[in-house]
Structure 1
Amino acid sequence: MNAGGEMGADLALQDGRARTGVSLAIIIATASVFGLTYSLTAPLVAQLLIESGMTETLVGANAAMHAVGVLMIAPFLSQLSIRYQPKRLIVVALLMSGICLFAFPWMPSVWLWFPLRLILGVAAEILFVLTETWASELSTDSNRGRVMATYTASLSLGFAGGPLILSYTGFDGLLPFAVGTIIAMAALLVINMPGLRQPAMVSHGHSNILRMMRLSPIAMGTTALNSAIETAGLSFLGIYAVRLGWSETDGAQLITVLMIGAIILQLPIGWLADKVNRIGLMIGLTALSAISAFLWPLMLTVEWLAYPALFIWGGLFVGIYTTMLAIIGSQFRGADLVNIYAAMGLLWGAGALFGPTLAGGFLDVLPHGLPIFVGLTCTLFLIFVFYVKKSAIRAPEANQS
């Protein structure tokens, strides 16, 4: 009887682990749709609006509608996830994404693309926050670094997918929008696969987004840093490479190499995050990212050095975000974790809004403005992390006195 009971318990444990593994694979695959919808629509819609005769200012206003959608939905995601559960909300978000992408070329006026971008922003925020929460909830302290590294790699794969699709479909006609729609619908089939384990969305206190921002300033700073530099790099690395003598095609290849590094190197960084002090790892990755960014003017002028340098830099920099996800996942659970990620979504929007603007200003003034902007931003974040750590140490002492 005891042997049979132990065997049954072992089988149940193995079945639970298998279901968790399948669920993680489904959620991580679904997460890539967030990056894809953004990286596909951003250059596609911008180019088509310019061709329609809109000014750069209006094109920027259209892009900002994505951030407006994020701001609209983020404060309500925690309560919505408790009431409706993550799977149902993700299904709605994928339907919204697919319908909006398909609707763009059918609109009688490009002015109607503004509300469509807003709705895409709402859908993207739901996907970003709830898949991140779900992946973290299904992981444990012993494997969270590796799980979140795989998740981050999937996001980066999505970001790389948009430009890749456009390189084959071009910018004209229905095709690029149709491909995006098909991918969103495919993700809808994936999320409805059997055996999916849902996390229990229970609030562990009366928390809100503003409170979570105060509790996790490093997470907020990391998110803003990641989005600001990632969007600035996607916008200006090719332009900077041309300044250094690269052709436009080779400059685009440099961006691809950077993104490949951001994908592949997350797995060893995630393994490392499960073995060492995560804050220390984050500090080390930030310092290396800052130093190597300042060296771009030298490294990017030597072809055999430029490709491996950007490959490694992409992995190190995105590893900062991966490590932060592992830290956050070990501190918060359930609806509180949704609130943290919702707040991070707001900071992601802010970084994506201001990062390219500042990077463009640096490039206007300085010939090596892009690496200077990237290096300075990483350095400022490093100073911020040390300040927050110092404040956290002093806080208990102040309370005792």
Structure 2
Amino acid sequence: MLRLIFPICALLASIALLLVGSGLLNTLLALRGTVEGYSDSMLGFIMSGYFFGFFVGTHLALPLINRIGHIRTFAFCAAFTACFSLLHVLFLDPYIWLLLRVMTGASLVILYTVIESWLNGQTSPENRGRVFAIYMMVTLIALALAQQFLHLAAPTAFTLFAVSAILICLSVTAITWTRMAQPVFSDAPKMKLKRLWGLAPVALMAAVFSGLSMGAFWGMGALYAGRVGLDNSGIATFISCVIIGGAIFQYPLGRYSDRHDRRRVLAFASALAAIAALLMSFFSNMMGLFLAASVLYGGMAFFIYPVAVAHLVDHLDHDDILPGGSTLLLIHGIGAAFGPALAGQLMDSLGPHALPVFFALMQMLLALYTVIKLREVQVEVLENAGQFVAMVRTTPSALEMMPDEPIEAELNTETDHSR
């Protein structure tokens, strides 16, 4: 493990610091927006702006990296991202916040692309499965850790915005310290939507509904927790519990899906996520049960997108994995862009508990659709079944790190060689 981590520790440190800073800012904006009196629907549009910027940034990353290189691109975008973090507290206007979220999303996706393409370039084929797993573990730990900074100060203070900017700036120091050669970066091809639908319609719909629900969680989860009476500490704990649930359940569920029909596993996970979301609403006044339901919801909801990717890979030839995965990622991103805005409108009209109801509705629609497809085609015959890989939504560059062979096989091969 250490032999794998040491050569890429600078890249992992950079992404960890970046995610802690940006993750803190994401939660902080929901809390500060509430204090400033922004409506739930307005906050929903502001949070949707981030995912719209994420989509725009994917088209800007390649030209920028090819023009000035990986390190300069990272420093360039990190500087802007840190500035955007501070500008939120200097200009307390919802429309300026909306613009800042769009620009933040565009900058961050370019930063993620720099790290992920660099990791991919530094990873040998026999190690890429384990490196991808390490990268995803660092991602989830950083996002959970980010919430704990809410204990430092009130959202009305300048302190937390400054901490976010400092962490983003520190991410530059780690990557500029590295002496690794910069990789050659190429654009990720896309697969036509019609072909994707023909190959794996369940994967496509899972990406849509997962995007809607996860976008709503990242954008409105902290706002919901505050609306139901949690203080800053409780909000941090709630968000962390959902993320921790996602980290705990992905691997065992993924291993199970490798040996069974993924559509059945997907239907079960989405139905259980819907139940857990309703339990979150029902137990919102009972902290222990509320957090337990949050862990369960996170475990199921975070599982949906990676199992959709694995289901799609089951139906693709090797050369089609990257374009197919890139298109699925785009569909997930479109759903994530609409999720906060839709959830915000519902919360404005029906109250805070509309958010878990929105989660439940998205997950139940996915479960129903998957069951319908299961009844149409009861058993899938797969010649080259893929392997589940735990992940969160990322950039197309990271898809190239996904293993072609099971990680266990890599480990066995390495053991045989050592003998």
**TM-score, normalisation: structure 2:** 0.65
2:150 corresponds to which of 166, 188, 191: 166
2:168 corresponds in structure 1 to 184
Residue 152 of structure 2 aligns with an amino acid whose one-letter code is Y
Query: Identity, % of aligned pairs?
Result: 19
2:366 corresponds to which of 381, 387, 397: 381
Structure 1 residues 190-229: aligned runs within 5 Å: 190-194=174-178, 196=180, 201-202=185-186, 207=190, 217=204, 218-229=206-217
Task: State whether residues 147 and 239 of structure 2, in contact with CA within 8 Å, keep that contact through their aligned partners in structure 1.
Answer: no
| 1:42–1:143 Cα change, 3 Å | closer
2:401 corresponds in structure 1 to none
SS at match of 1:170: coil
- Give the alignment's Cα RMSD to 1 decimal: 4.8
- What's the CA shift for 1:295? 4.1
Cα distance in structure 1, aligned partners of 2:79 and 2:310: 30
1:358 corresponds to which of 327, 331, 346: 346
Q: Does 1:233 align with 2:221?
A: yes
Kindly tell me the number of residue pairs found equivalent between the two proteins: 370
Q: Deviations over 1:130-162 (max 9, x none)?
A: 656666785869974x76565455444444444
1:13 corresponds in structure 2 to none
Task: State whether residues 142 and 274 of structure 1, in contact with CA within 8 Å, keep that contact through their aligned partners in structure 2.
Answer: no
2:305 corresponds in structure 1 to 321
- What's the CA shift for 1:378? 0.7
1:285 corresponds in structure 2 to 269
Residue 310 of structure 1 aligns with an amino acid whose one-letter code is S
SS at match of 1:345: helix
Task: State whether residues 224 and 351 of structure 1, in contact with CA within 8 Å, keep that contact through their aligned partners in structure 2.
Answer: yes
User: More displaced, 211-220 or 226-235?
Assistant: 211-220
1:125 corresponds in structure 2 to 109
- What's the CA shift for 1:339? 5.9
Larger Rg: 1
Residue 161 of structure 2 aligns with an amino acid whose one-letter code is F
**TM-score, normalisation: structure 1:** 0.67
- What's the CA shift for 1:168? 0.5
User: Where does the alignment leave 5 or more consecutive residues of structure 1 unmatched?
Assistant: 1-16, 395-401
Cα distance in structure 2, aligned partners of 1:326 and 1:193: 36
User: More displaced, 255-264 or 299-308?
Assistant: 299-308
Residue 357 of structure 2 aligns with an amino acid whose one-letter code is I
Residue 102 of structure 2 aligns with an amino acid whose one-letter code is L
Cα distance in structure 2, aligned partners of 1:72 and 1:348: 13
SS at match of 2:178: coil
Q: Does 1:372 align with 2:357?
A: yes
User: Where does the alignment leave 5 or more consecutive residues of structure 2 unmatched?
Assistant: 380-419
Structure 1 residues 2-401: aligned runs within 5 Å: 21-22=5-6, 27=11, 29-32=13-16, 35-45=19-29, 48=32, 62-77=46-61, 89-105=73-89, 113=97, 115-128=99-112, 131=115, 138=123, 144=129, 151-194=135-178, 196=180, 201-202=185-186, 207=190, 217=204, 218-240=206-228, 242=229, 253-269=237-253, 278-296=262-280, 305-324=289-308, 341-359=329-347, 361-363=349-351, 369-385=354-370
Task: State whether residues 53 and 102 of structure 2, in contact with CA within 8 Å, keep that contact through their aligned partners in structure 1.
Answer: yes
Residue 354 of structure 1 aligns with an amino acid whose one-letter code is L
